[in-house]
Amino acid sequence: MRKTESVRNILATTQFLLPSLTPAEKRVAEFVLKAPHEITRMSLQKLAKRCGCGEATVVRLCRTVGVSGYAEFKRLLSGQLLNPPAKDEMGEITSGRSMGEVVESVFKLNILNLRKTLEVAAIEEYDKACDVIVAAGKICFFAIGDAMFPCSYASLRFKRIGYDCFADSDADVQIVNACNLKKGDAAVAISHSGRTKQVVEAMRIAKERGASTICITKAGKSELTKYSDIVLYNVTTDTTVDKEVIARRVAEQAMLDAIYMGVLQRMEVNSFERLQEVSDNLKVNKLPDKNM
């Protein structure tokens, strides 16, 4: 269950989790989304009766959303209704638009995706991910195609503070890496659909070997979440033609950056000294060649 302060938007989180709820929980969630003002005036007993379910179902939904119970759910919902978030407006990115319109649309789209992902962020899950990686002997990243870009960047960052990291783009090598994991290691996977065959198989093997498994994916249960100890959700809205790169990769990189910074905060003071030492040594690649 998430900490109260991590819940930034009750309605957005409820909507986001809708596909993964049980039928009874979904009835309650749909009523919440349909009549949120009415919910703030209803008792637990009345809501359960209205939705044809038990009171325990309502409480379970509240905890799934990330609050301790129905009273807290109503309080946070009331606050949101009094101060509703600004409405998201995003035009479709199509051909024939000026460069100024394209630049503005792309920036707004990325800001929107980051904000929506933050709204449903389970901070306690990020905490768990940081704790796992702090104690990890080795970190392996699993992804296919352009999803490997944020993995490669994260791998480089973790290497700079002393971790053994593997972010190989070849699917066969990823399986080999998974086979070499053991208890005390960490596996991090990215698959927006949660169904990428090679990634799911690598995570299955990693979990079987005893490694702690973390995934970044969209809402809902999937084969990937089945093999993941920690699940972090990425909310995206894509209005581009290919519906692929722009909407997902920026948010995924931000999520991995957040974990990296959390790990850095948990490490000993000398980790910052090591990071500075690596940065100083990397300056040799930025200096002009004296022979030129």
Q: Is the pLDDT of residue 1 over 50?
A: no
What is the reported pLDDT for 274?
Answer: 65
What is the reported pLDDT for 12?
Answer: 82
In the block, which residue shows the tokens 């960052």? 157
Average pLDDT across the chain, whole number: 84
pLDDT tens, 135-180?
999 999 999 998 999 999 999 999 988 899 999 999 999 999 999 9
**CA 90 to CA 258: how far, in whole Å?**
26
What is the reported pLDDT for 238?
Answer: 56
Q: Is the pLDDT of residue 45 over 60?
A: yes
Helix (H) or strand (E) run with residue 166 in it: strand 164-166
Nearest-CA neighbor of 173 among 133, 146, 150, 201? Answer: 201
Higher pLDDT, 290 or 219: 219
In the block, which residue shows the tokens 């990634």? 199
Side-chain-side CA neighbours of 151 within 13 Å: the count stands at 26
* Torsion angle in degrees (nearest 10) through CA of 195, 199, 2, 155: -150
Q: Are 109 and 93 in contact (CB under 8 A)?
A: yes
Q: Is the pLDDT of residue 286 over 70?
A: no
